[in-house]
Amino acid sequence: MEKKENNFAFIDSQNLNLSIRNQGWILDYKKFRKYLADKYNVTKAFLFIGYVPQNQDLYTSLQESGYIVIFKPTLRRRVRSLILLFKNERNRGRF
């Protein structure tokens, strides 16, 4: 009897998404999950993703595609405020 492998995948969705888009592609997460199962015998795929309340449909779709979705905290950035802060500090000679 052949022993079946029991592999897990731990995926950082931000890195995966940016890498794929950088190549000019769009990832089909459902097909990717099937690929992981078929090629590498991945039985559990943990997908780490930032939680944004407006993306609930995306999270549901990922779960339906077979991922175990793990939410990471997200930060809200105010880019304009950071730029102004940097300019002010630079003018004071701190940078």
The predicted-structure confidence for 22-57, as pLDDT tens digits, reads as follows 999 999 999 999 999 999 999 999 999 999 999 999
Q: For the chain, how many residues are written?
A: 95
pTM of the model: 0.74
Give the CA distances from residue 69 to residues 38, 43, 81, in Å, rounded to whole numbers and listed in that order: 20, 14, 32
CB count, 10 Å around CB of 58?
Answer: 14
pLDDT for position 4:
72
Question: Rg of the chain's alpha carbons, rounded to an integer?
Answer: 19
22-54 burial, b for 16+ CB within 10 Å, e for fewer? eeeeeeebeebbeebbeeeebeebebbbeeeee
